[in-house]
Structure 1
């Protein structure tokens, strides 16, 4: 029983030390780079607008102008650069219900920080339109200007690629979108990749981020990924630039948000990207304090468990310590 009590005390000590330790947080600015960097080239299936009026997203759908009138079997799909921004602005404008908005927050484990979001709708998405031309060929057109009009965009026949492959970067399409940066709506461009196979249309956004900081006179370069399915890097997956994620074993070097990464001689918690800055929280000092506390408790526990401690063995001597007569005449 005493053993378990000591373990419980140890747990309280550990978590108490973690809570009371001053946080040493690094805020590292990001540089965005086109391409996949060292990461696997993940893709996601494009979802087409569901025209059922009972669909919770129905009021968020946009009319797209300029679709060739000869096209048949037309479908519209959307790629989100920031689906949280999209949800927030559509809740603010009444296009999605409060209940559905709360449901999304629970599903995404998301607590909206409205200081980082625009209540005024911004183009945080891009539309892709698919249809068959008069010759019966399947065609695509991307609203690359973000103006909800594809009359100024060039339709193309999607190239089929095997499911397990990723098209070369030369096949990307540069598209315009908007993002709130430093409280201001900023016009940006990013590449999108589309892949057609026998089952569906796939997409990704081949862009990752980089960050750098200095520790003990040495520079460390970090790569940051969001799995290439949006421009929202809040759920940052980070790795040292020296690591190549080319095998499943290489995945072990990736630190997801909330996990830890060793850089140099220190350990950091990955707190994700906040306002275009990667936040790393140093925990090495905290662990050292906890380690010292654990050692003290462990030492006290082990001494207490000895069958005969030094104090117990010399208990007979205590009456004689202050009595010279007892020492002379025991």
Structure 2
């Protein structure tokens, strides 16, 4: 979450909320908003001339988004929640949120945002339970604009002078007597344009869902012996859409454990040689999605190199897929860390990152000799032990 830009050339300028009631005693005041549904916001902003056609089309292209007019309202609705922060008389950062969405901060409580140290492990759930604030906003449901409320959590990372927010709640649905929890975009917003779901009975005792149990959009979920594809949420009808699959599981491709890995091919960065997943059938393959600016990725490189050098190419291979990085930076990394395994760029032509639904780096997939994913996000000793066990079998 960021405050409004002070640039007059900001293409979002006309979409900014006009608020009053910021405490007059504050200094270094900044105002901004948290958007519960950026897609609805952009759609209505275009239809009210708050953003240009060129900007609207650019966003569609960047997001790979085709607006669904059946789920969106041309009439403006309150998708945003305004906030302000500044320093009090002793220089402490204070914040205020327009929880009732009336654009007036004077009837809201001032609070000191909870500080979070990124170097210290913390309990997300405990943090949320103590520090959430209920906020009001609007949604477009059954072709009507309705007011709803949700819990909002805001924390402050003092080291980086950065505020973070999320909405710690999920929706529920059921199919054939099986209860499902549905989250929106990793709890970052409430647009439900990227819905994740999990079978509630599979959630661990500490109310945590195992990573491999979370079903992303266009992934598969198995319910009572049937396989369904998660087609996301129809926001207007307020329903979860699941598509029953005719094909057996062993014919389906997905980035999930237990499913066939998506086939791909590309040119190896240094040699230009063709590399494909199909060409590596018969071996265990680690697909390593990384970027040159990713600290944990770089930290793992020496481990991967040592492990790679001590395994037989006839049994095990690593293919690194590089995203969001400059070629010259990749060259430097290869030289610095003596990387000898294949490197492929994910780009608009092969769209490997998009196909595998990569949301962050590093992300890894371990594929067996039959092309089936058997593990995700193994690194360090866990990866080494797993491969050694498999190769010995």
Indicate whether the TM-score tops 0.5.
yes
Q: CA deviation at 1:222?
A: 1.0
Residue correspondence of structure 1 range 1-330 to structure 2 within 5 A: 46-163=1-118, 164-165=121-122, 166=124, 167-198=127-158, 199=160, 200-214=162-176, 219-226=177-184, 227-244=186-203, 250-275=210-235, 276-283=238-245, 285-287=246-248
The number of aligned residues is 240
Q: CA deviation at 1:249?
A: 9.6
Q: CA deviation at 1:177?
A: 0.5
CA deviations over 1:257-292 (Å, ceiling 9, x no partner): 111111121111110101221111111x3449x89x
CA 1:83/1:178 → structure 2, altered by over 3 Å: closer, same or farther? same
Moved more, 152-161 or 180-189: 152-161
Q: CA deviation at 1:232?
A: 1.3
Distance in 2 between residues matched to 1:239 and 1:174, nearest whole Å: 25
Which stretches in structure 1 are left out of the alignment for 5+ residues? Answer: 1-45, 292-330
Which stretches in structure 2 are left out of the alignment for 5+ residues? Answer: 253-393
CA 1:89/1:249 → structure 2, altered by over 3 Å: closer, same or farther? closer
Distance in 1 between residues matched to 2:163 and 2:243, nearest whole Å: 40
Q: CA deviation at 1:247?
A: 12
CA 1:56/1:241 → structure 2, altered by over 3 Å: closer, same or farther? same
Distance in 1 between residues matched to 2:197 and 2:152, nearest whole Å: 22
Q: CA deviation at 1:83?
A: 0.6
Distance in 1 between residues matched to 2:208 and 2:141, nearest whole Å: 35
Larger Rg: 1
Contact 2:101–2:135, Cα closer than 8 Å, also in 1: yes
Contact 2:26–2:86, Cα closer than 8 Å, also in 1: yes
Distance in 2 between residues matched to 1:229 and 1:277, nearest whole Å: 20
Root-mean-square deviation (CA, aligned residues, Å) is 2.2
Distance in 2 between residues matched to 1:62 and 1:80, nearest whole Å: 11
Q: Which runs of 4+ in 1 moved over 6 A?
A: 245-249
TM-score with structure 2 setting the length: 0.58
CA 1:201/1:274 → structure 2, altered by over 3 Å: closer, same or farther? same
Distance in 1 between residues matched to 2:213 and 2:110, nearest whole Å: 41
TM-score with structure 1 setting the length: 0.68
Contact 2:230–2:242, Cα closer than 8 Å, also in 1: yes
Distance in 1 between residues matched to 2:208 and 2:58, nearest whole Å: 34
Distance in 2 between residues matched to 1:148 and 1:247, nearest whole Å: 36
Q: CA deviation at 1:155?
A: 0.9
CA 1:249/1:88 → structure 2, altered by over 3 Å: closer, same or farther? closer
- Greater RCO, CA 8 A, separation 6+: 1
Contact 2:93–2:112, Cα closer than 8 Å, also in 1: yes
Distance in 2 between residues matched to 1:249 and 1:178, nearest whole Å: 29
